[in-house]
Chains A and B, each alone.
Chain A
Amino acid sequence: MSDNPDLKGTSARSFHCDRVARAFSWIRPEPWGIHVVPADCWIDPARAVDRALVTHGHADHARGGHGQTYATPETLAIMKLRYATSDGAVPVAYHETITLPGGVKATWIPAGHVLGSAQILLEHAGERILVTGDFKRRADPTCPPFEITPCDVFITEATFGLPVFRHPPTQHEIAKLTDALAAEPERCVLVGAYALGKAQRVIAELRAAGHTQTIWLHGALEKMCRLYEDFGVDLGPLSLVSEAPSKGAMAGHVVLAPPSALNDRWSRRLPDPLTAMASGWMRVRQRARQRGVELPLIISDHADWDELTRTVTEVAPRETWITHGREEAMLRWCELHQKKARALALVGYEDEGGDG
């Protein structure tokens, strides 16, 4: 969803803009992606380009149709599942450094967001620029953790870049889910979760909490779960709702579906479902209400406010550039802490209601 008007108010704030552009002139944020000029390639471009460097497999970052796509093997597998082609795929392992045209070096570093997700470190002309893509800092059983990497320019997301977003401990939210199951064993809990990442994370977190029962899946989640399992993520017993022997078989169980199916007719086949949703947006009551969610689970694959600001502090870059999310508050925080920052007017990334 484009939200360009939001950025108008912030342009006056990016007072370092001109100077920054001169210092790091080989990288240019354009509205549809970050252009690495000497290599003539783009990071997570919103339109088809000759050469794309992709941070992770979510559709707003990994679009199809590029000539060449550089990404981790996991991300390429996810893109192949999505776009049914692996033409031009160039796999790059975590921590492997490749040299792009123009002598630009690129390294994929774990971002802790979803399976295969990476930050991309670019080195050129003695300068280090790091693009986080999407990331989080807390543990996730389905992917390696975010790594702090020193750099000159830190290009970060800010999906939850407002101080009200502080995600509670994941175990606390998983306990809410299992408590709800136990409280009304004749019902099921229908959890809305994005097909890539969140669904597998919820399953893996439930398993880590000792939940061994069958988890029922909406058909749209099946292939991605299988892909995760192919990459060695153990998800325990899974079955498809469409293959349930009876409604009653799902009572007392967790059912997972993409958020779009929560209030759909599809859910009528479930035993009196309690509607839950796993997302960082659930922190705000009315957001949950607006989506008809009765059991909000604050489980996010993005850094919350404390993680975002802690990460900027720990990485300690010369400049922080903010790609998408709630840029204004992050800019303000940087200003209060005497850190140079600017907002990039990128389009095409999911705003509210995205893969939070």
Chain B
Amino acid sequence: MEAFAALLDTLVYTRSRNAKIAAFARYLRDTPDPDRGYALAALSDGLDFVAVKGSTIRALMRERVDPELWTLSRDYVGDSAETASLLWPEPEHFPGPPPSVAQAVEALAAMTRSTVATELPALLDRLDAEGRYALLKLATGAMRIGISARLAKTAFAQAFDVAIEDVEEHWHGQSPPYTALFDWAAHGAAPPDTENLPLFRPFMLAHAFEADDLDLDAYVAEWKWDGIRVQAVHAPGESGTGESRLYSRSGDDISASFPEIPAALDVPCVLDGELLVRGEAQGGKEGGAASFNALQQRLGRKTVSKKMLREAPAFVRLYDVLQVEGEDLRPLPWARRREALEKLLLRLDPERFDLSRLIDVPGFAELAALRESARDAAIEGVMLKRRDSPYVAGRKVGLWYKWKRDPLLIDCVLMYAQRGSGKRSSFYSDFTFGCWDGDPDGEGQLLPVGKAYFGFTDAELKELDRHVRQHTVNRFGPVRETDKSLVFEIAFDSVHASARHKSGLAMRFPRIHRIRSDKPAHEADRIASLRALIRD
């Protein structure tokens, strides 16, 4: 556990991405199985222990530390696991040597709700503050140390000098401690056999388009639909009877939330598309899709009621095809894959799968104009894809671009602030802002309309933190109410009616676009102006 704890701290403190990868790779090479496999899992897909949750840790600490001192400490540190690791009372007698990562994982996995209250403390007692931090991070699966699964896989590839694409390909379907994966990469064994399994394939991603022009002979334009990017997969399965899965962009299996999609897929293939819910907001009444808001009602549900299936049926608007009948189409140029996709579509259930239309425009200027007008159709923007490009994992320069429409803007007033977590810990960085309900110069009042955590630079963060500290008029636990003197220009993608908020509105993806220190609060926008932007 000491080596893993030291690795975590190195990853936390090291700034350069390359140095992080090098440190991680060194750990993977130097650490024996199965410790390294569990460490890799902890830093990529995460480990899940049913009996250990954030609330478990809070409960343990409640028995050991005064709740008020805990709250003050947690608020200051900005991370529960770290706070607990620092506050943990050291045992009076030698509790035994620190556990290895594998021993800790086995112990955590064996814990139940009734045993966790005695067994987790026994583990924590055997570790120092750094070890306790590592154990709690590992146990709760919330690393939040700025390490992406992609970085972990890159480190793995570097450690054993194998291609990152191969790592991503073989990764799925494997489970911690990834012994088959290490056997393949470190010891030259054959890669894990996954041909007949409905596994996730790494997505091809796009860069933001920032140029002024593009040659449409080389690139094809396509709408970027406002749903969630998914991969639908069907394979013969281990039993040969056929298995289907639906994966999110991060590779999470979301089949249970949208069972109608995997149920409708019976051709062995791997499809890339946008998951949408039927409605009229996107693409007109005929075969149209509802706004993102409708889709959101179904996201994250473990089971779906019949009513939901009936009232908000999901379908996938297809962008691409990666595999058909066991044949890997990814090395083919986009145009060839598109042909294969159009051919395959005839074999798919039209109720659940349709084709993302290409945008037929004579030139770039026309495309730009069309993109501008796309606002009302609640489309996210335009995709630009190189016609001769293969389907490659990750974000490769020059192949795919996303050209999002410009955000909506509105002036709001800062109302409340809370300290952030992670790298913004201790800074007042979570902001609630509001618009005027009524005449700001008369009886009008500010009503909260949204929250934003980002959109500002580090220097602006310091400035905002100072503003909050100097303009606090009230404190509610960790929340500070400010004197409502600072105006933010908020950028957001869309706004929807919502019964959950007092203002009756919910903004999608709000972020602080500009700090308008120059603007007096009474000149901020009214709720009515925001309401006028609702499109669903």
Contacts and interface: CB of A to CB of B under 8 A. Distances in A.
A326 B13 contact: no
B72 A326 contact: yes
B418 interface: no
A164 B475 contact: no
B429 to A, nearest CB: 11
B82 A5 contact: no
Given A285-B12, A285-B82, A294-B13, A5 B425 contact: no
Given A5-B471, A294-B15, 16 more contacts: A2-B470, A6-B469, A9-B475, A164-B86, A164-B87, A166-B129, A285-B12, A285-B133, A286-B422, A286-B425, A290-B427, A295-B13, A326-B72, A329-B68, A329-B69, A332-B68
9 residue pairs, one from A and one from B, having the closest CB atoms: A5-B472, A164-B86, A286-B425, A9-B475, A164-B73, A294-B13, A329-B72, A332-B68, A285-B12
Contacts of A285: 9, 12-13, 79, 82, 133
Contacts of B83: 164
A164 B76 contact: yes
A286 B86 CA distance: 14
Contacts, number: 83
Nearest to B19: A294
Nearest to B90: A166
Contacts of B66: 332, 336
Interface in B400-432: 422-427
Contacts of A3: 469
A294 B15 CA distance: 7
B453 to A, nearest CB: 15
B215 to A, nearest CB: 42
A293 interface: yes
Interface in B65-85: 65-66, 68-69, 72-73, 76-79, 82-83
B469 A163 contact: no
Nearest to A2: B470
A283 interface: yes
B498 interface: no
B233 to A, nearest CB: 39
A328 to B, nearest CB: 6
Contacts of B79: 285-286
B480 interface: yes
A296 interface: yes
Contacts of B129: 166, 168
B12 to A, nearest CB: 5
Which of A163, A288, A294 has the most CB atoms of chain B within a 10 A radius of its CB? A163
Interface of A: 2-6, 8-9, 162-166, 168, 283-290, 292-296, 326, 328-329, 332-333, 336, 352
A162 B73 contact: yes
B76 A326 contact: yes
A6 B76 CA distance: 13
A283 B86 contact: yes
B175 interface: no
B72 A290 contact: no
B14 interface: yes
22 contacts: A4-B470, A8-B472, A9-B475, A163-B65, A163-B73, A164-B76, A284-B76, A284-B425, A285-B9, A285-B13, A285-B79, A285-B82, A285-B133, A286-B79, A286-B423, A286-B426, A289-B423, A290-B423, A295-B13, A329-B72, A329-B73, A332-B66
Which of A4, A168, A285, A329 has the most CB atoms of chain B within a 10 A radius of its CB? A285
A206 B9 CA distance: 23
B87 A163 contact: yes
Interface string B1-19: 0000000010011110000
Contacts of A5: 469-472, 475, 480
Contacts of B424: 286
A354 B72 CA distance: 20
Contacts of B472: 5, 8
Contacts of B78: 286
Nearest to B10: A294
Contacts of A162: 69, 72-73, 76
Contacts of B425: 284, 286-287
A166 to B, nearest CB: 7
Contacts of B133: 285
A9 B425 CA distance: 21
Contacts of B480: 5
Given A164-B76, A164-B77, A292-B15, A287 B69 contact: no
A284 B72 contact: no
Which of A164, A166, A293 has the most CB atoms of chain B within a 10 A radius of its CB? A164
Nearest to B420: A286
Interface in B469-500: 469-472, 475, 480
Given A288-B13, A294-B15, A163 B76 contact: no
Contacts of A289: 12-13, 423
Interface in B158-202: none
Contacts of A165: 86
Contacts of A283: 86
Which of B76, B78, B79 has the most CB atoms of chain A within a 10 A radius of its CB? B76
A332 B15 contact: no
Contacts of A328: 72
Contact of B14 (A294, A326, A352): A294
Contacts of B86: 163-166, 283-284
A90 B115 CA distance: 66
A94 B422 CA distance: 45
Contacts of A295: 13
B195 to A, nearest CB: 44
Given A6-B469, A286-B426, A290-B423, A332 B72 contact: yes
B124 to A, nearest CB: 15
Nearest to A294: B13
Contacts of A336: 66
A54 B470 CA distance: 28
Contacts of A166: 86, 129
A328 B68 CA distance: 9
Contacts of B426: 284, 286-287, 290, 352
Nearest to B78: A286
A8 B68 CA distance: 17
